[in-house]
Chain A
Amino acid sequence: MQAPCPLGQYREASGYCVPVWVAVWDYSTHFFSNVSYDTWQSGQAEEGSAGRSPGDETNYALSVASETASFVANRPYWSDTCQKTLADIGISVADLPSGLTADPISRLQLAAGSVVFLDGTTSRAPLGDLYTNSAVPGLAALVPLQTVADVFAGSPGTRAMTELGGNRIWIRPSYFNQIGSGWAAAVVMHELVHNIIGLTDDDLARNLGITLVNGSRDITVRLLTDCLN
């Protein structure tokens, strides 16, 4: 197995590690600008979430997530590369009840229009609820008897969780208040993919032909690279 790329880099198909460029969405100009991962990280550290009460922090983060979903739902231009990546990841062309046919990006945008964001750190929803719409529901019986909040508390690296085949996304507010808008869009897109096709990270990675070295984050980096740059 190849050694993982340093933080802020990803492995291209050529096998070389190259820097990740982070697309930062400017809400005043409505354009992305690309900055290096290091620049973006140092910007986040300065920005932080200082001065907000926990309640404000949650509300702010939920509004950031909703605005991000709204951006995904309404963005008019998506590249062919992105369309192909979403198809590779498992979002097929589908017939809608209206009689129209939706391509992968349209399905992503439809999902973005109906998503509901919740605070994962306080949610009493049973973890098993996130699995009930999956392709093999019997496996939900093997999910630990924990709440979503238990998982967020026990796994600090979890920044967002999604129900398979539903429309709910649980977020970690402190994380959403720190990340840039381009990265937030990639995280939301990642979670929407779980909503739409009901597959776990291991299945998504396999569909993309990648090995998860940094976990979930590697899928988000791929979406950022192919769809938001």
Chain B
Amino acid sequence: MVRMVLLLLGASVSLLSQVPLDEAGKEGVLQVLIVDSFGKPLQGTFAVSVREVVNGVPGKEVRIAPKVTLGYGTYTLTVRGSPAYPVDKKITIDRRYQLVVVPLFLAPIESPWEGNTVRGRLPAGSRDRRCTYVRLLSALAETEYAEAAAMESGDFVFQNIKPGRYILVTLGDVGICDVVATDVLPKHEQELTLP
């Protein structure tokens, strides 16, 4: 699970690399894989578009198919599919074939709408080591995360969490104490169990 996450993050980092000048005029195939916040591929009607970024300025928005040939360069990729939050992602086409994974998170029909409440308690060992800083990071989208400070009792709570696959990390002055992969399920409230 954690290995899969690192691979995905690694892919997005390489997409942000710059295009060498001598590669101007070349083309690459972009394939957009749209998944839900648990990583499950989604079917449906999507609006996928790109805006080429030239000298830092995004150009005209052009609708594309999920698989398309584009000139080497930097683009803002936008994916929309109701009922999900629209996603903007900066990508760089610099290879003959590239895959971009875009996770969609469920959006409420009426905004704002409170998402899940996630509660948990630090393991006794982590509490003793003062690992009281807790982060909940989406396994698929670097923009989705939440932070909390555990109470003296070790209890912590995250509010308004969108359902999806997450990694929970506890931190303190000693560094990282716990790393746990967990699913935030589509319920209103849930209890996380740490080992």
Q: Which of A137-176 contact B (CB under 8 A)?
A: 137-146, 150-151, 154-155, 157-158, 160-162, 164
Contacts between chains A and B (CB distance < 8 A), count: 108
| CB nearest neighbor in B for A163 | B109
Q: Hey, what's the 0/1 contact readout for B38-58 against A, CB within 8 Å counting as 1?
A: 101011111000000000000
In the bound complex, CA of A202 to CA of B37 (Å): 17
Q: Which of B10-18, B91-99, B100-108 is the interface stretch?
A: B100-108
B116 at the interface (CB under 8 A from A): yes
A91 at the interface (CB under 8 A from B): no
Contact status B40-A201, CB under 8 Å: no
The smallest C-beta distance from B103 to any residue of chain A, in angstroms, reads 11
Contact status A144-B186, CB under 8 Å: yes
B36 at the interface (CB under 8 A from A): yes
B84 at the interface (CB under 8 A from A): yes
B188 at the interface (CB under 8 A from A): yes
Measured as residues with beta carbon below 8 angstroms from the partner, the interface class of chain A is: 35 or more
Contact status B188-A146, CB under 8 Å: yes
Contact status B46-A135, CB under 8 Å: yes
B135 at the interface (CB under 8 A from A): no
Contacts of B113 in A (CB 8 A): 151, 155, 158
Measured as residues with beta carbon below 8 angstroms from the partner, the interface class of chain B is: 20 to 34
Q: Which of B75-83, B142-150, B174-182 is the interface stretch?
A: B75-83
Contacts of B188 in A (CB 8 A): 144, 146, 150, 154
Contacts of A199 in B (CB 8 A): 82-83
- For A139, give its contact among B36, B80, B111, B112 (CB under 8 Å): B36
Contacts of B44 in A (CB 8 A): 134-139
The smallest C-beta distance from A175 to any residue of chain B, in angstroms, reads 13
Contact status B186-A139, CB under 8 Å: no
A198 at the interface (CB under 8 A from B): yes
Contacts of B38 in A (CB 8 A): 142
Contacts of A151 in B (CB 8 A): 113
- For A136, give its contact among B104, B110, B112, B163 (CB under 8 Å): B104
Contact status B111-A142, CB under 8 Å: no
In the bound complex, CA of A206 to CA of B107 (Å): 13
Residues of B within 8 A of A (CB): 36-38, 40, 42-46, 80-86, 104, 106-114, 116, 163-164, 186-188
Known contacts A135-B82, A144-B163, A202-B86; 10 further A-B pairs (Cβ under 8 A): A135-B83, A136-B46, A136-B81, A142-B163, A143-B106, A145-B187, A154-B188, A158-B113, A200-B108, A205-B111
Instruction: Give 5 A-B contacts (CB < 8 Å), ordered by A residue.
Output: A131-B83, A136-B82, A144-B187, A201-B107, A212-B111
